[in-house]
A and B are shown apart, each in its own frame.
Chain A
């Protein structure tokens, strides 16, 4: 089974973190938006059916009825209006909850019923009868009001307690989600940094793998990489071979041979005015790659390099034909690309061998003709 790609693990933690923070926002939104109407429904005291206690309203109508009847029970209009108030009072008194919770409700509703029947029949109750018929229900309603206030108080305390518990849970939940979000984010950040570090390391190693450790210039792989980078552009390639380098090493030892390699790398770079990329292709062979549109320019570069080497007069005690270090140079121009490099490299190499065959210490620019990657085509 293949392990999950790094980016997926990376996104996983980020995703979890974002989900946590989203959950936190949703929770807060829910709490602020949906809990408020519940509080309103519980504690709003006005503007709705039960805002004022039904018992209170009922008691008000009974008191009005009592007032009217005490003022003039003999008057039919008073009685009729009192009866109307009595009916309103009855309707607000005759509530299932009151019947169930308050024992005084049923008998007092019956009293009101009897009084209503008498008023409807046109009878005028005496003050004593009114006291008996209305004061007792008023007293019952007062008892209900007090009882309901107590119940509301209890409900309020319960609600407050539940709200407090709920808020504690929400707070703990929010903290947990928040901490989880932070942890997930930290994991994501840790993974991201780790991935970045790994990438940097890889690049460093890749870079090291492309360098010649002795001279610090590129190696053959770096040349191939550079050709890919310059794909399609006209380039010139110089293959530079140190004449009788083995003899140099044999005479002066490998440490001096290594120093010569480093010195020559610097000299080639200076001669080509820093315009070329240098590569060490093997023991005593360098390559230089540079943008080049004409063979004449390439020839000029070869000539300048040869002259500067002569000017440098680097001693070579084991050289059979000279006292100084000499170079054999083969060069070719081509269009950068895989095929172009193969052709160009082969042409430059052949030119190099021709120079060597002709006694070394010289240069030749090969003419790359009838080839797919020919820069002159």
Chain B
């Protein structure tokens, strides 16, 4: 009896774990939306739409790639203005690898939300689907990656911090 109970419980736990794993895997494995949050409200933007809206093209030396690349993206400030109605003071970013950071100073057209690199849409393995970079990083040494700690990769959600 006890053994049978244990067996039933194990089966239940196994099913639950399996279902959870399937659901979360389905959600995580398809990073095709960007979630924008403000207070209690949250809405999502299709990554494909953002890729279509990407109208900035330029070449620059990507310190993390250690080579010159051609990128395409959106001016991040304009996206914020369009989606939030203004540029929030600070934003909390959550990445697909659960990296989380809160940063300010976004009222600056130098920040580009990159969607494509060398003609290809960014995927997770390219540190996409969305990546925030500075178009012009001045005279900072690209050999020292710590100079680019404010860049954000694999962006999953953005939350305006009041």
Chain A residues near B (Cβ < 8 Å): 41-42, 47-51, 57, 61, 75, 77-78, 80-81, 83-84, 87-88, 90-92, 94-97, 99-100, 116
B92 to chain A, nearest CB (A): 12
Q: Are A92 and B149 in contact (CB under 8 A)?
A: no
Q: Are A88 and B97 in contact (CB under 8 A)?
A: yes
Q: Are A97 and B18 in contact (CB under 8 A)?
A: no
Which of B25, B62, B67, B147 has most A Cβ within 10 Å?
Answer: B25
B146 to chain A, nearest CB (A): 5
Residue of B nearest to A94 (CB): B125
Compute how far the CA of A99 lies from the CA of B63 in the bound complex, rounded to whole angstroms. Answer: 13
Q: Are A96 and B29 in contact (CB under 8 A)?
A: no
Compute how far the CA of A84 lies from the CA of B28 in the bound complex, rounded to whole angstroms. Answer: 7
Q: Are B149 and A41 in contact (CB under 8 A)?
A: yes
Compute how far the CA of A88 lies from the CA of B22 in the bound complex, rounded to whole angstroms. Answer: 18
Which of these, B21, B148, B153, contacts A91 with CB under 8 Å?
B153
The 10 closest A-B pairs by CB, nearest first: A96-B66, A48-B149, A87-B124, A81-B25, A90-B125, A77-B22, A80-B25, A91-B127, A96-B65, A49-B149
The reply on B88 being an interface residue by CB < 8 A is no
A143 to chain B, nearest CB (A): 18
Q: Are B29 and A95 in contact (CB under 8 A)?
A: no
Chain B interface, DSSP helix/strand/loop, else mixed: mixed
Compute how far the CA of A88 lies from the CA of B150 in the bound complex, rounded to whole angstroms. Answer: 19
Chain A interface, DSSP helix/strand/loop, else mixed: helix
Total count of chain B residues near the partner, CB < 8 A: 33
Residue of B nearest to A52 (CB): B99
The reply on B64 being an interface residue by CB < 8 A is yes
Q: Are A49 and B29 in contact (CB under 8 A)?
A: no
Tell me which residues from 34 to 78 in chain B have a Cβ below 8 Å from any Cβ of chain A: 62-67
Q: Are A88 and B65 in contact (CB under 8 A)?
A: no
Q: Are A88 and B99 in contact (CB under 8 A)?
A: no
Compute how far the CA of A48 lies from the CA of B29 in the bound complex, rounded to whole angstroms. Answer: 25
Q: Are B29 and A80 in contact (CB under 8 A)?
A: yes
Given contacts A41-B146, A91-B127, contact A48 B67 (CB under 8 A): no
Q: Are B25 and A57 in contact (CB under 8 A)?
A: no
Residue of B nearest to A82 (CB): B25
Q: Are A100 and B66 in contact (CB under 8 A)?
A: yes
Compute how far the CA of A116 lies from the CA of B124 in the bound complex, rounded to whole angstroms. Answer: 12
Compute how far the CA of A154 lies from the CA of B137 in the bound complex, rounded to whole angstroms. Answer: 26
The reply on B145 being an interface residue by CB < 8 A is yes
Which of these, A42, A80, A81, A91, contacts B154 with CB under 8 Å?
A91
Q: Are A77 and B18 in contact (CB under 8 A)?
A: yes
Compute how far the CA of A80 lies from the CA of B153 in the bound complex, rounded to whole angstroms. Answer: 22
Given contacts A77-B18, A81-B25, A84-B29, contact A49 B151 (CB under 8 A): yes
Compute how far the CA of A77 lies from the CA of B23 in the bound complex, rounded to whole angstroms. Answer: 9
Contacts of A116 in B (CB 8 A): 125
